[in-house]
Chain A
Amino acid sequence: MITVRIPTPLRPMTGGKGEVEATGGSVLELIDHLNGAHPGLKDRICDEQGEVRRFINIYVNEEDIRFLTGKETPLKDGDEVSIVPAIAGGSHG
């Protein structure tokens, strides 16, 4: 099993859970598996071409997959995957 950390903006799609378990031999498989359990999640993470959106980073064990092999980055049991979107809040509101 792979532990996936879900950021605050996406938690409504995981029933409020900040951490879910999933399987997959690669990041892409993991996202597809996540989407099966939490429909719509993939659309939030990936664009129409299936590429990870450029304001969202995915980390496998603290390493950004953009600097590994992208969505093909292999995963193994026990890995921790973090989905981290850019956030901008700070001043007003």
Chain B
Amino acid sequence: MRAASAKPGNAANERFQHPDVMMDFTEDQIQRYSRQIILPDVGGKGQRKLLEAKVLLIGAGGLGSPIALYLGAAGIGTIGLIDGDVVDLSNLQRQVLHTTNTVGVPKVESGRRLLAALNPDVTVNTYQENIGMDNIMKLLPEYDIVLDGSDNFGTRFLVNDACFFAKKTLISGSIFRFEGQLTTIKPHEGYPCYRCLYPEPPPAGLVPNCQEAGVLGVLAGTIGILQANEAIKEILGLGDTLADRLLIYDALEMKFRKVGRPKDPKCPLCSDNPTITTLEEHHVSCSI
């Protein structure tokens, strides 16, 4: 590691002349992150927060790919990838964390390789398994923020409930054909949970999955990048939160809308009188 040396006339380096910040970064890091360090709301302290942040990505597919790439590029220090699948050729139209060369490789390993090539500052923890009741509460304590890019309602309700019990901020993105939804879930700060938004999942078989319905690759990129944006804002404490709003994106009409997302006083999970008091009581089949 080379010691940082500020060069005159460079705004990013001048920002690093503060001794507390100077000592924390290598020259390579100053150069790598210079465009975001010069942002007034980021600076060296913000970059340090990003490097110290630990985020868990549920799924290394359509949404997880852009999330991982942009959070990795931004210098998020620890990224956990959990996904039990291997890369298939049909994934590559949208799952940009994987390449033709990694077809047949576990997605988490494929993702780890690309992130390692992108940014050596990032520690990638890989879990080649599906998220479930048996592993989620062991994983969550290791991370600050969870980003859900899963493909089924069972997982979404499980992740919501687990994050509620573990008091972790959850950034939830989902896509269907040409439409995407995005929200931030942090009931531990008094905001509504996912069950406040959707009390129940659709019955099995009523809503087709992406395999049956199709999905535009760019849509996954759009929503995934917005999830990454919200994660960075949460880590840095910047801007407005989507914690009481649902963002809806219509790719065909090129419209973004935000609707209110109030706390449900009858929520079975996060209300004052919950009926779900342990993760074991959550009743949503992961087959949905």
A positions within 8 Å CB-CB of B: 5, 7-9, 18-19, 53-55, 57, 59, 62-64, 66-67, 82, 84-93
Bound together, the chains give a CA A7 to CA B202 distance in angstroms of: 15
Whether the pair B198, A90 counts as a contact (CB closer than 8 A) is: no
8 A Cβ contacts from B247-288 to A: 248, 250, 252-253, 257-262, 264
Q: A19-B253, A53-B202, A92-B209 are in contact. List 9 more A-B contacts (CB 8 A).
A: A55-B201, A57-B197, A64-B259, A88-B153, A88-B209, A90-B174, A90-B210, A92-B210, A93-B90
Q: Which residues of B contact A90 (CB under 8 A)?
A: 59, 61-64, 148-151, 173-175, 210, 220
B 129-160 to A, binary, CB cutoff 8 A, 1 in contact else 0: 00000000000000000001111110110000
Q: Which residues of A contact B213 (CB under 8 A)?
A: 9, 89
Distance of A53 from chain B, by nearest CB (Å): 8
Q: Which residues of B contact A53 (CB under 8 A)?
A: 202
In the complex, B33 has a CB within 8 A of chain A: no
Set A8, A18, A82, A91: member contacting B64, Cβ < 8 A: A91
Identify which of A9, A19, A55, A93 gathers the most chain B CB atoms within 10 Å of its CB: A93
B positions within 8 Å CB-CB of A: 58-64, 83, 85, 90, 148-153, 155-156, 173-181, 197-202, 207, 209-211, 213, 215, 220, 246, 248, 250, 252-253, 257-262, 264
Identify which of B176, B209, B250, B261 gathers the most chain A CB atoms within 10 Å of its CB: B176
Bound together, the chains give a CA A15 to CA B210 distance in angstroms of: 21
Closest B residue to A19 by CB, please name it. Answer: B253
Distance of A46 from chain B, by nearest CB (Å): 13
Whether the pair A91, B61 counts as a contact (CB closer than 8 A) is: yes
Distance of B207 from chain A, by nearest CB (Å): 7
Q: State whether A91 and B153 are in contact (beta carbons under 8 Å apart), knowing that A55-B200, A64-B260 are contacts in the complex.
A: no
Set A84, A88, A91, A93: member contacting B259, Cβ < 8 A: A84
User: Sorted from nearest, which 9 A-B pairs have the closest CB atoms?
Assistant: A93-B210, A91-B59, A91-B61, A87-B176, A91-B151, A54-B200, A90-B63, A90-B149, A86-B198
Distance of A15 from chain B, by nearest CB (Å): 14
Q: Which residues of B contact A59 (CB under 8 A)?
A: 259-260
Bound together, the chains give a CA A57 to CA B62 distance in angstroms of: 25
Bound together, the chains give a CA A84 to CA B257 distance in angstroms of: 11
Whether the pair B60, A91 counts as a contact (CB closer than 8 A) is: yes
Bound together, the chains give a CA A88 to CA B200 distance in angstroms of: 12
Whether the pair A86, B210 counts as a contact (CB closer than 8 A) is: no
Whether the pair B199, A89 counts as a contact (CB closer than 8 A) is: no
Whether the pair A18, B253 counts as a contact (CB closer than 8 A) is: yes
Whether the pair A82, B259 counts as a contact (CB closer than 8 A) is: yes
Whether the pair B177, A8 counts as a contact (CB closer than 8 A) is: yes
Whether the pair B198, A55 counts as a contact (CB closer than 8 A) is: yes
Whether the pair B202, A85 counts as a contact (CB closer than 8 A) is: yes
Residue pairs across A and B with Cβ atoms less than 8 A apart, 5 shown, are: A88-B156, A89-B62, A90-B151, A91-B83, A93-B90
